[in-house]
């Protein structure tokens, strides 16, 4: 037992002596660059989060539009102009756009501004009665939205009749919605306007 204790004490003293002599020689110093040569070299083939392959990173962050289902709802539909005007002084129509991630992974959607979606209401003749982005200003701030597997993003807007470019007349209108920065994620539906 005594022999093991002597060996352990000898080992501890040797380690302490090596550390003290390293400090004396200046090998370990917080103001000294102790990184191995090429540590920050981003041209080498060693792994570093700072020198990842841009194409590989881009592929990992790509959003597959096929992994999303889109849906667009308008209410009330059909819309009776007579009933709408009786309900209140400023009638409106409610537009709801949703995207559902049915894919197998979480996606990060990136946006160049605070705008997340856009929509417009178009008459049968092709005249635009309302465009959401024409009626709103968006902060010029980059943003992201994470959509986990089986999650939804839902956007809703009430459009007052007074805000429309041209008044709604009886007929069939097409409502088109698109995800900002992702033109492949679109949805459309019809709005029937009655007397």
Contact 178, 117 (CB under 8 A): yes
Torsion over CA of 162, 163, 168 and 172, rounded to 10 degrees?
-150
Both tokens of 139, joined, read 């902060």
Check: CB of residue 182 under 8 Å from CB of residue 109: yes
Chain segment 29-80, per-residue pLDDT in tens: 555 555 555 544 555 555 444 455 666 556 656 889 999 999 999 999 999 9
Q: In this predicted model, what pLDDT tens digit does every residue of 88-112 receive, in sequence order? A: 778 899 999 999 999 999 999 999 9
User: CB within 8 A of 149, min separation 6: which ones?
Assistant: 101, 102, 103, 104, 105, 106
Nearest to 101 by CA among 164, 148, 140: 148
pLDDT band at 84 (very low <50, low <70, confident <90, very high): confident
Q: Closest Cα partner for 65 from 179, 188, 174?
A: 179
Residue pair 117/97 in contact (Cβ under 8 Å)? The answer is yes
**Mind listing the pLDDT tens digit for each residue in 135-189?**
889 999 999 999 999 999 999 999 998 899 988 899 999 999 999 999 999 999 9
Cite the residue boundaries of each domain of the chain with CATH code 2.60.40.2360: 63-194
Q: Determine if residue 75 is left, alpha or beta; phi over 0 gives left, psi from -120 to 50 gives alpha, anything else beta.
A: beta
Across the chain, the runs of DSSP E, i.e. the strands, are: 68-75, 79-80, 92-101, 107-111, 117-123, 128-131, 143-147, 152-160, 171-179, 182-194
Question: 63-194 belongs to which CATH class?
Answer: mainly beta
How far does the chain reach from its first CA to its final CA, in angstroms? Answer: 103
β-pair partners for 194 = 80
What Rg do the C-alpha atoms of the chain give, in angstroms?
Answer: 32
pLDDT of residue 160: 92
Other CB atoms within 10 A of residue 156 CB: 10
The per-residue pLDDT for 113 is 92
């Amino acid at each position: 037992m005594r022999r093991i204790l002597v060996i352990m004490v000898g080992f501890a003293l040797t380690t302490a002596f090596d550390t003290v002599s390293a400090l004396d020689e200046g090998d370990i110093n917080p103001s000294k660059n102790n990184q191995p040569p090429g540590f920050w070299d981003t041209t080498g083939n060693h792994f570093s989060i700072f020198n990842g392959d841009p194409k590989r990173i881009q592929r990992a962050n790509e959003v597959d539009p096929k992994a999303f289902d889109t849906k667009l709802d308008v209410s009330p539909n059909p819309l009776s102009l007579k009933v709408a005007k009786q309900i209140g002084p400023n009638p409106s129509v409610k537009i709801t756009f949703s995207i559902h991630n049915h894919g197998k992974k979480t996606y990060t959607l990136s946006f160049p501004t605070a705008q997340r979606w856009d929509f417009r209401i178009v008459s049968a003749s092709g005249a635009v009665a309302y465009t959401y982005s024409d009626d709103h200003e968006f902060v010029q701030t980059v943003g992201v939205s994470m959509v986990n597997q089986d999650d939804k993003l839902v956007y809703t807007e009430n459009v007052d009749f007074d805000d429309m470019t041209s008044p709604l007349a009886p007929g069939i209108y097409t409502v088109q919605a698109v995800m900002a920065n992702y033109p492949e994620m679109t949805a459309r539906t019809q709005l029937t306007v009655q007397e």
